[in-house]
Each structure stands twice: as C-alpha cells, then as structure tokens.
Amino acid sequence: MNKLSLKLGIWFLVVMLIIEIFLLYFLHENIIDTQIQEELSTLQARGNNHRDVLEESYRPETLHHIALMESKGELDVIITDKSQNIIINSSEVDHAIEKILSYRLKNVSRNGEVIAKRWKDEQYISIQLLLTL
C-alpha cells in the first residue's frame, strides 16, 4: 500500500509540475505580447502628439524644441520631408536609421504606421507619421 501511494504521489507531483510549466510559459508569452503592443501604442501616441504640435505651429523653434526634448530621452525623433531628406533629428543618424529612412511607404494613415516591428531583429522600432500643413 505504501509503494502505491508513493508512486501516485510522485505521478501527481510530476503531472502538476508539467501543467505549471506549461501554464507559466503561455502566461509569460501573453504578458510579453501585451507589453510589446502597449509600447508600440505609446510610441505611436507620442509621435502623434509631435505631429499635432507641428501642424499647429510648424516653425524652426518648434522643430528645435521637439528635437531638444527628445535628445535627452530614450526616443529618437527624425523629421524628414517627402523626399526623406532630414529636416531635424534628435540624435546621430547611424546605418540602422538610414535603413529605416530608406523604406518607402505608401498610403500612410493619419495615425501613422509602424515600419520596423521586428523588435528582436532590428535595432529600432519606428513609426512613420504623415504631417499635413
């Protein structure tokens, strides 16, 4: 009788550990996906705020202020014209940024579009916004 209860106890423990590992793995994956989506939404909202400010007051002082404010933070802002010529930037433009600037997107919505979503492979996550003056 003791051997049977010991075997059942060990099997129960093994099954419970497998179930816990399985559930924790999927919980972790879901939390990571949710966090990534929140970060992308925050990044897009911040870019939209910059776009709104520039639409209200597109002056060299405003451009300089945006670049200056973002130069001290984690976000790099690069404002280009329709030909992808840089008007102002908050940080140095490296090869990874030049690659992103070379993307040609058509039909960008007013809310913007994430153009470098592969956060595991890319150095930057980037959003392209359309400014209408």
Task: Report DSSP letters for 25-68, one per residue.
Answer: HHHHHHHHHHHHHHHHHHHHHHHHHHHHHHHH--SHHHHHHHHH
Question: For the whole prediction, is pTM greater than 0.85?
Answer: no
Residues 11-32 have pLDDT tens digits of: 999 999 999 999 999 999 999 8
CA 17 to chain centre: 34
pLDDT tens, residue by residue, 74-132: 888 888 887 778 888 888 888 888 888 887 767 777 777 777 666 677 777 777 777 77
